[in-house]
Amino acid sequence: MEKSFIVYGIGFLLTYIFFKFRKGLVSGMNSKSLLNKVVVITGASSGLGEALAHQFYKEGCIVVLCARRRQELDRVKNDLVSLPCSTPNHTPIIVPLDLSDINSLPGVVDKILSITKKIDILVNNGGISHRGSVLDTKLEVDMKIMTVNYFGSVALTKAVLPSMVKEKCGRIVFISSVQGLIAIPYRSSYAASKHALQAFADSLRAEISHHNIGVTVASPGYVKTALSMNALTATGKTYGKMDTDTEEGYTCEYASQAILKAVLEDQKEVVIANVTAKIGIFLRNFIPSLYFVAMVKRAKKLMQK
């Protein structure tokens, strides 16, 4: 018991140091730099995407709301227009899209550009989660989650990039997850899609830096959204339940404010999570044997429920 306490104590200290210095240099941007910027947000019809729309709208951005559900996008637009804002604001633009329809995404980007002429910030937020064991999860479920969470975001990014390169500026934001940094049991498909997104973002960041285009990866822990409600089970059905961890997670407002701050400060990545999650990330990177033991225990505990 004493040994475990010492190990976790050291882990906490090193984790604090690790995350303190991994953010990199801050560019000194301020909120005025977002005024009149065109911000495209996927998954903007609810949850974190909706909260991000509120944050960017209040900064005076031209917000383009994207998701499948047109009726919900209309609701978000009406909510934004009714907000009291101290900065000049623009009427939000609605452009429905379906991230699973990869071939349609270049046309969606062309439509946005025909209206806005440019895209300053792309926020890849849309996605779906997963609840199920590797043994039981059908391959088509893995493929659907990877298509939406990874290939959808990649295809949309590839469609947007040429316009940003032409303008010699821009920012791509990927909303990943703590599970993109540490995989946990019964989330294999979701974690794999977010791991892939992290790797893509790292490669992209290096390749386009000379075009003055930044890449920010946000990795939230549990955020109180309908993500678990809409998650796919092993058979592809909707999970339909709110997890306790999700119910007790950060508010969408808190997470969206942290992401906005990361964009303003030109942070390459930001982890929005509690101490336990950050210790887990540290252990996976520096003491993986302890992480593996912890995940086995977690899997056994979940099997007993």
262-282 confidence digits (pLDDT tens)? 999 999 999 999 999 999 999
Residues 89 and 146 in one domain: yes
pLDDT-derived band at 244 (thresholds 50, 70, 90) equals confident
Residues 200 and 303 in one domain: no
Query: With contact defined as beta carbons under 8 Å apart, do 65 and 44 qualify?
Result: yes
Residues 294 and 148 in one domain: no
pLDDT score at 172? 98
Ramachandran assignment for 121, one of left (phi > 0), alpha (psi -120 to 50 degrees), beta (any other) = beta
Q: Which of 57, 190, 250, 291 is catalytic?
A: 190
Q: What is the spatial distance between Cα 35 and Cα 86, in angstroms, rounded to a whole number?
A: 12
pLDDT score at 163? 97
CATH number reported for the structural domain that contains residue 115 in this entry: 3.40.50.720
Residues 40 and 79 in one domain: yes
Number of helical H runs and strand E runs in the chain: 11, 9
DSSP state of 235: T
190 catalytic? Reply is yes
- Determine, yes or no, domain membership for 60: yes
Residues 250 and 291 in one domain: no
Residues 247 and 220 in one domain: yes
Task: Give the pLDDT mean for 242-250.
Answer: 80
- Determine, yes or no, domain membership for 217: yes
- Determine, yes or no, domain membership for 1: no
State how many domains the chain has.
Answer: 2
Give bridge partners of residue 130 from the DSSP assignment: 232
pLDDT score at 24? 40
> How far, in Å, are 150, 215, 236, 239 from residue 128 at the CA level?
10, 22, 11, 11
pLDDT in tens, 109-121: 999 999 999 999 9
The answer, yes or no, to whether residue 58 has pLDDT greater than 80, is yes
Residues 305 and 161 in one domain: no
> How far, in Å, are 13, 135, 138, 296 from residue 239 at the CA level?
37, 17, 15, 23
Residues 266 and 291 in one domain: no
DSSP state of 86: S
Residues 6+ apart with CB under 8 A from 29: 264, 265, 266
Residues 218 and 282 in one domain: no
The answer, yes or no, to whether residue 13 has pLDDT greater than 60, is no
Terminal C-alpha separation, the chain: 26
Residues 6+ apart with CB under 8 A from 30: 264
Q: What is the spatial distance between Cα 61 and Cα 16, in angstroms, rounded to a whole number?
A: 34
Which range, of 160-174, 211-225, 239-253, 260-274, averages the lowest pLDDT?
239-253
- Determine, yes or no, domain membership for 17: no
Residues 240 and 284 in one domain: no
Residues 253 and 144 in one domain: yes
Residues 247 and 298 in one domain: no
Q: Which two tokens stand for residue 147?
A: 């298509």
- Determine, yes or no, domain membership for 288: yes
pLDDT score at 226? 76
- Determine, yes or no, domain membership for 137: yes
Q: Which domain holds residue 299?
A: 275-305
**Which phi and psi (to 5°) does residue 130 adopt?**
-145, 140
Burial of residue 266 (CB within 10 Å: 0-12, 13-18, 19+) is: middle
Task: Give the pLDDT mean for 4-17.
Answer: 50
Q: Which two tokens stand for residue 79?
A: 């909510």
